[in-house]
Amino acid sequence: MSIIFMGTPEFAVASLQALLKAGEKVVAVVTAPDKPAGRGQKIQESAVKKFALENNLPVLQPTNLKDPDFIEQLRSYKADLQVVVAFRMLPEAVWDMPPKGTINLHASLLPQYRGAAPINHAIMNGETESGVSTFLLQHEIDTGNILFSEKTPILPDDTAEDLHDKLMNIGAQLLVKTVRAIYEGNIEGTPQPENNDLKTAPKIHKEDCRINWDRSVQEVYNLIRGLSPYPTAFTLLEGKILKIYKAKPEFIQVNEKPGTPLSDSKTYLKFACKDGYIHIMDLQIQDKKRMSISDFLRGFRLK
C-alpha cells in the first residue's frame, strides 16, 4: 500500500522510521510548518520534517488543512492509507480521503485518556499502567474503532519522559503490525465503550502546573513526575519561580504549614505537604539554568 504519514514531534519519528524499516511505501509526509523557537527565535523544523528530508521523502507543511490546494496536492499522491501520529485534528475531507481510511496511534489505552496529553495525565493521576492504541479516525476526536492496543507498566518513579520513550517504541511496532493487518485484510475494529468512568487528557495549561502544597505527598509527587521535563511543575521560592524536574517523597508527620520550604543549605531543600515532604532533586530557579540540588545549594541560603 502507498501511505501518507502525518506527524510532528519526536514521538512520531519512531513510527515513521519503523514503517520505512518494515519496507512500507511512504509516498509523502505531512507535518507542521516551520516556526520560530527559543530565545533567538530561530526558525525550527519539526523532528518529523528533519527525518523525512534525511530519507528523501516529499514533505507537505500546510497552515490550513482545509485549503483546497493542500487537499488537491494530498489527493494527487493517491495514497491507499493515511497514518497519523501526534499531529493535529484532521477535517473529514482529509481523513476520509484514502480508500483504506486513516489510522491514528494514540498514547493511551483507549477509551481512557482521550485528548492532547495522555502521557502526562496518566502519571499525574497515579496510574500504574498505560499503553498505546491504534484506531480508525472518525468525526469525534480519539473515538474511532480500536484496531490494536498494547499495555506497559508505569513504574513508581517514572516521569512523563520515561513513559513517553516507552510508548514511543512500543507504539512504533504496534503501528507496523496495524498497517500489515490492514494490508492483509484480516482486521476488524472494535467500537470503543462509552461509560461514566472515562478519564480524559486535555491540553495542559500553565495554571495546571502550579503545585498545591495542601495536597498529599503522593499527589504532588505524581504531578511533578507527570509534568517532567515539560511543561514542568512549579512553585514559588522567595518570590521566584522554581521549576521542579525531579523530586523524592518523604511520608512522615509534619508540623509546618503546607508549602513551607526547609533547608540545611547544604544537602537538602524540601517543601511541607499535609502528610510529609517533597525533597527537590533537580530544579531550575527563575533566570538560571537547570541544575542539581547540590549545585543549587552552593549558592543559595534560605531566608
Q: What is the mean pLDDT of residues 60-67?
A: 97
Digit-coded pLDDT (tens) for 98-148: 999 999 999 999 999 999 999 999 999 999 999 999 999 988 888 999 999
Tell which of 153, 184, 215 closes a domain: 184
- To the question of whether residue 108 is assigned a binding role by annotation, the answer is yes
Residues 177 and 234 in one domain: no
pLDDT at residue 115 in the model:
95
Digit-coded pLDDT (tens) for 237-278: 999 999 999 999 999 999 999 999 999 999 999 999 999 999
> Do the domain assignments include residue 303?
no
Q: What is the mean pLDDT of residues 205-231?
A: 98
> Do the domain assignments include residue 191?
no
Please tell me the distance from the alpha carbon of residue 257 to that of residue 211, in angstroms, as a whole number. Answer: 14
210: Cβ contacts below 8 Å, ≥ 6 apart: 233, 234, 235
pLDDT at residue 227 in the model:
98
Domain span at residue 140 reads: 2-184
Q: Which amino acid is at 69?
A: D
Tell which of 184, 216, 239 closes a domain: 184
pLDDT at residue 36 in the model:
85
Looking at the predicted structure, is the pLDDT value of residue 30 above 80? Answer: yes
Q: CATH number, domain at 31?
A: 3.40.50.170
pLDDT at residue 209 in the model:
98
- To the question of whether residue 110 is assigned a binding role by annotation, the answer is yes
Residue 13 φ then ψ, to 5°: -60, -40
pLDDT at residue 254 in the model:
95
pLDDT at residue 38 in the model:
74
pLDDT category of residue 42 using cuts at 50, 70 and 90: confident
> Do the domain assignments include residue 118?
yes
Residues 166 and 97 in one domain: yes
Residues 88 and 24 in one domain: yes
Residues 168 and 257 in one domain: no
Looking at the predicted structure, is the pLDDT value of residue 45 above 80? Answer: yes
> Do the domain assignments include residue 193?
no
Residues 290 and 248 in one domain: yes
Residues 62 and 176 in one domain: yes
- To the question of whether residue 228 is assigned a binding role by annotation, the answer is no
Which of 25-39, 89-103, 117-131, 144-158 is predicted with the least confidence, judged by mean pLDDT?
A: 25-39
Q: CATH number, domain at 223?
A: 3.10.25.10
Name residue, grid cell 495554571. Answer: 207
pLDDT category of residue 217 using cuts at 50, 70 and 90: very high
> Do the domain assignments include residue 277?
yes
3-state secondary structure of 244: strand
Residues 28 and 171 in one domain: yes
Residues 21 and 168 in one domain: yes
Radius of gyration of the chain (CA): 22
> Do the domain assignments include residue 54?
yes
> Do the domain assignments include residue 232?
yes
pLDDT at residue 196 in the model:
82
Residues 158 and 88 in one domain: yes
> Do the domain assignments include residue 120?
yes
pLDDT at residue 84 in the model:
98
- To the question of whether residue 198 is assigned a binding role by annotation, the answer is no
Q: What is the mean pLDDT of residues 78-103?
A: 96
Looking at the predicted structure, is the pLDDT value of residue 75 above 90? Answer: yes
> Average per-residue pLDDT in the chain?
96
Residues 237 and 275 in one domain: yes
Structural domain total, the chain: 2
Residues 169 and 239 in one domain: no
Residues 56 and 92 in one domain: yes
3-state secondary structure of 281: strand
